[in-house]
Amino acid sequence: MSELIQNLVLGLLLGGVYALAAAGLSLIFGVMRVINIAHGAFLVLAAFITYTLWHAVGLDPLVATVLTMVVVFALGWLTYQALVRPIRTAPMSSTVLLTFGLALVLEGAMGEIWGNSSTAIRPSYADESFTLGAIFIPKAQLYGGLLAIVVLVVLWLVLTKTWLGRAIRAAAANPASAELVGIKVSAVAATVFGLGIAAAGAGGSITGVLYPFVPGSHYQWIARMLAIVVLGGLGSLNGAVLGAVIFGLAEVLTSAYVSPEWATAVPYAIVFAVLLFRPQGLLGTRLREDAVMA
State the nearest-atom distance from the C-beta of 111 to another protein, in Å: 6
Stretch that binds another protein, among 59-67, 155-163, 187-195, 211-219 (CB under 8 A): 211-219
State the nearest-atom distance from the C-beta of 82 to another protein, in Å: 24
Helices 2-32, 185-210: axis angle to 10 degrees equals 160
Among 78, 111, 179, 186, binds another protein (CB under 8 A): 111
Residue type, 229: V
State the nearest-atom distance from the C-beta of 1 to another protein, in Å: 13
Among 90, 160, 219, 272, binds another protein (CB under 8 A): 219
- Alpha-helical regions (H) of the chain: 2-32, 39-52, 64-79, 92-114, 139-161, 163-173, 175-180, 185-210, 218-232, 237-257, 266-277, 284-293
Q: Under the criterion CB under 8 A, does residue 146 sit at the interface with another protein?
A: no
Backbone angles phi, psi at 153, to 5 degrees: -65, -45
Indicate the burial class of 289 (C-beta count within 10 angstroms; 0-12, 13-18, 19 or more): exposed
State the nearest-atom distance from the C-beta of 65 to another protein, in Å: 19
Distance, in Å, from the CA atom of 225 to the CA atom of 25, rounded to the nearest integer, reads: 8
Among 56, 57, 93, 131, binds another protein (CB under 8 A): 131
Q: Under the criterion CB under 8 A, does residue 19 sit at the interface with another protein?
A: no
State the nearest-atom distance from the C-beta of 265 to another protein, in Å: 7
Among 87, 212, 272, 292, binds another protein (CB under 8 A): 212
**If DSSP codes are grouped into helix, strand and coil, which group holds residue 136?**
strand
Distance, in Å, from the CA atom of 98 to the CA atom of 216, rounded to the nearest integer, reads: 18
Q: Under the criterion CB under 8 A, does residue 112 sit at the interface with another protein?
A: no
Indicate the burial class of 93 (C-beta count within 10 angstroms; 0-12, 13-18, 19 or more): exposed
Among 53, 143, 251, 288, binds another protein (CB under 8 A): 251
Report the residue number, 44 or 152, with the smaller CB distance to another protein.
Answer: 44
Residues that bind another protein (CB under 8 A): 3, 6-7, 10, 14, 107-108, 111, 115-118, 120, 122-129, 131, 136, 138, 140-141, 211-212, 214-217, 219-220, 223, 251-252, 255-256, 259-265
